[in-house]
Amino acid sequence: MRNLIAGVLLLAVACTVLSAPAAVAAKVPSIEFGLKAGVPLTALMTAASNGYEPRTRRYTLGPTLELKLPYKFSFEVDLLYKRMAYLYPGPISRLSTPAVAGRWELPVLAKYRFTAGRCNPFMTLGGSWNRVTGSHSMGKDSIGLRHRSVLGLAIGFGVERRFGPIRVMPEVRFTHWTDRNFGVRDAALRSNLNQTEFLAGFTF
């Protein structure tokens, strides 16, 4: 994970040095739509007891919308889906029971580009809201579900590069949730408060 973060930061520095200076004249706001896909770099859940086994599904996917504003600012809204799964001790000794849940995340972010050329490092900062859906195990509600919805703070760093009509935006994003969806601090199974993920955005 450190190598990936270092690579993104190095690419951002290179783009800052190589990008041509841009005029700061105001432009008419525009809206771009696209897709975001990625992988969690940290586990969504932690097990602290025998018989519990988190199984993070390594994908993130959803639509993205960006409102581009003057002076290299913009607002971004994503709707990202993650799949959570885990095993917990069942009613019969030595047999684990599977449980699955989906989690939607809605980050609303302010974005600033440090340059205005073809290759632009950027930073995002804002809030995020999540919602656990489809939580079930053997036809029942999943064990340990505490809050279906939680608020969080998100910050990200990445690089934007245009290829014809398509903008490609690799990014490393950190999110801190104010509470846990599953469990409490010392629970046998609990969702993590801190989340790191690698995302790649494609807008048109």
Predicted local distance difference test score (pLDDT) of residue 95:
53
Q: How far is CA 138 from the centre of its chain?
A: 29
- Cα–Cα distances (Å) from 29 to 23, 71, 104, in that order, read 16, 10, 28
pTM of the model: 0.81
Paired strand residues for 124 = 111, 156
Predicted local distance difference test score (pLDDT) of residue 56:
72
Q: What is the tens place of the pLDDT at every residue in 143-189?
A: 578 899 999 999 999 999 999 999 999 999 999 999 999 887 777 77
- Cα–Cα distances (Å) from 107 to 39, 61, 86, in that order, read 16, 13, 25
* φ, ψ for residue 61, nearest 5 deg: -155, 140
Predicted local distance difference test score (pLDDT) of residue 112:
98
Predicted local distance difference test score (pLDDT) of residue 54:
81
Residue boundaries of the structural domains of the chain? 30-109+133-155+167-204
- Cα–Cα distances (Å) from 22 to 64, 85, 185, in that order, read 26, 47, 49
Residue 10 neighbours by CB distance under 10 Å: 11
Predicted local distance difference test score (pLDDT) of residue 173:
98
Predicted local distance difference test score (pLDDT) of residue 5:
52
Question: Helices (DSSP H) in the chain: which residue ranges?
Answer: 2-18
Predicted local distance difference test score (pLDDT) of residue 26:
42
Low-confidence ranges of the chain (pLDDT < 50): 9, 13, 16-26, 138-141
Predicted local distance difference test score (pLDDT) of residue 17:
47
